[in-house]
Structure 1
Amino acid sequence: MSKAVKFIKSNLFLLSVVIAYLVLTIIRPPLGVLGIKNSGYYIKEMLMIMPVIFVLTALLDTWVPKETIIKFLGREAKTKGMVLSFLLGSISAGPIYAAFPFCVMLHKKGASIRNIIIILSSWAVIKIPMLLNEAKFLGLKFMIVRWIITVIAILIFANITNKIVKDKDLPQRKVKEKSGVTINRDACMGCTICTKKYPQLFQMDSKKATVKEYSDLDMELLDSAIKSCPVKAIEYN
């Protein structure tokens, strides 16, 4: 019974969505079926896109030093950081949810809250491909005016959020699973990469990585798992 309760609590939102779809399908079958089809489409899209995003995020985390992120996207980057954040968001590809693991990595390496908000907002509403289509269908003048107003709004919201939300408010907690191995369960995205890299040590529990009982560590496999984690949630001290 306790496992069932734990499962329900861990998947409360998902279960609520499933129940909502069932009720909608019973009351309005055509609308319910359409909703299920649309959800299936987006789930399929996520399964195709997210593995690529995880790999690219891990590569960027490995290749770009923390000092570089702090210099160009940290609190002291100021105008330079905001301009670069707008550029990163505007030239991005893929849906907005693909930006979240990327921004987690940037924040962990020193990017400011303000610049993360700018990247996410730019990614969502002023990507270059979007602007080109907007100019094509609604006209160049409309696109330019809308872009200017949107940029101003993003700057306002980014600065307000930067004053309200602090670094400590983002997932920072590290949970020590076993001696020497530390996992940030708040940052863990449940990508299962660590369980594939080192299945003798890592396992999934409630869609989060945990550590199995062990007596010895294979440092080569552990190092591979640490480096492969897209959000760098695994540490060994």
Structure 2
Amino acid sequence: MIEKLKKNKFLATVTLIYGILFITNTDKAVLSVKNSGYYIKEMLIIMPVVFLLTSLIEAWVPKKMIVKHLGDNSGLKGYFISLLLGSVSAGPIYAAFPVCKTLLNKGASISNIVVILSAWAVIKVPMLANEAKFLGLKFMFIRWIFTTISIIIMGYIISKLVKREDIPMEEEKIEEDTILLRREYCMGCGLCEKMSPQYFKVENKKAKVLNKNISYKNKKKVKEVQDKCPAKAIKVG
């Protein structure tokens, strides 16, 4: 029990605060729970779409393309593409983090990731439209110009202060002769079940591993499943 609490310190602390709040101020506690419920509901709607997007980037966008257009040597073109990606994106800013992590893993530069995140946060197209409506077109346009310049400068500075090795990039460790299935990436195509039914089965439109331990004679076949998985959801140790 104590070990579980140590591993989930944040959750335990929040639960304790809620408990104290319910005792000392029930009305505020109820309001707080309602607000938390709203944001949890929002995340449950948005995050599956985000995971699908990240799995598509992982599976279908070649690393060479990311490096060419968003990598360290992409220059002004990279900044322009990053601004465009951030500006046309939908959803709250927390939805940008897994997308940017995937792009970073595939070779995008830190400066371009900063630009995408910042553009997503402060110069999205729907936001600019509302800004022009309430504060005027001139205000919106001038603010957009200076914000864009600031974002690019900030991206450059952060890329000099923060190196790639400062960012946690490690992959989930896989034991030798075992299967790791990232279900959030799975598209439910059923290819793994067709190729290797003794190890995979599709349930509720998602693949599951029937036996994570691979025998020596079957390892080559399971490796083929890994290579052909369109979502790159399967990893073999």
TM-score by length of 2: 0.79
Residues 178 and 213 of structure 2 are in contact (CA less than 8 Å); yes or no, is this contact kept in structure 1?
Answer: no
Residues 58 and 227 of structure 1 are in contact (CA less than 8 Å); yes or no, is this contact kept in structure 2?
Answer: no
- Show the counterpart of 2:194: none
- Show the counterpart of 1:236: 236
- Structure 2 counterparts to residues 198-237 of structure 1, below 5 A: 198-201=208-211, 212-215=212-215, 219=222, 223=226, 227-228=230-231, 235-236=235-236
Letter aligned with residue 198 of structure 1: K
- Identical-residue share of aligned pairs (%): 48
- Show the counterpart of 2:38: 41
2:104 to 107, 110, 129: 107
- Show the counterpart of 1:69: 66
- Show the counterpart of 2:190: none
Decide whether aligned partners of structure 1 residues 108 and 180 sit closer, same or farther in structure 2, where only a CA change above 3 A counts: farther
Alignment gaps of 5+ in structure 1? 202-211
Q: C-alpha distance in 2, partners of 1:192/1:54?
A: 7
1:84-116 deviation digits (Å, cap 9, x = unpaired): 100000000111111112111111111000100
SS in 2 for 1:171: coil
Decide whether aligned partners of structure 1 residues 73 and 11 sit closer, same or farther in structure 2, where only a CA change above 3 A counts: same
- Structure 2 counterparts to residues 137-148 of structure 1, below 5 A: 137-148=134-145
Q: C-alpha distance in 1, partners of 2:46/2:19?
A: 28
Structure 1 residue 227 displacement after superposition: 4.6
Residues 174 and 182 of structure 1 are in contact (CA less than 8 Å); yes or no, is this contact kept in structure 2?
Answer: no
Letter aligned with residue 236 of structure 1: V
Structure 1 residue 81 displacement after superposition: 0.2
- Show the counterpart of 2:57: 60
The structure with the larger Rg is 2
Q: C-alpha distance in 2, partners of 1:147/1:12?
A: 41
Structure 1 residue 12 displacement after superposition: 1.4
Letter aligned with residue 127 of structure 1: K
Q: C-alpha distance in 2, partners of 1:87/1:13?
A: 36
Decide whether aligned partners of structure 1 residues 221 and 200 sit closer, same or farther in structure 2, where only a CA change above 3 A counts: farther
Farther off after superposition, 85-94 or 4-13:
4-13
Decide whether aligned partners of structure 1 residues 147 and 27 sit closer, same or farther in structure 2, where only a CA change above 3 A counts: farther
Letter aligned with residue 148 of structure 1: I
Residues 46 and 95 of structure 2 are in contact (CA less than 8 Å); yes or no, is this contact kept in structure 1?
Answer: yes
Q: C-alpha distance in 2, partners of 1:31/1:153?
A: 39
TM-score by length of 1: 0.79
Residues 226 and 235 of structure 1 are in contact (CA less than 8 Å); yes or no, is this contact kept in structure 2?
Answer: no
Structure 1 residue 141 displacement after superposition: 2.0
Q: C-alpha distance in 2, partners of 1:12/1:112?
A: 33
Letter aligned with residue 236 of structure 2: Y
1:59-85 deviation digits (Å, cap 9, x = unpaired): 233222111111110000011101110
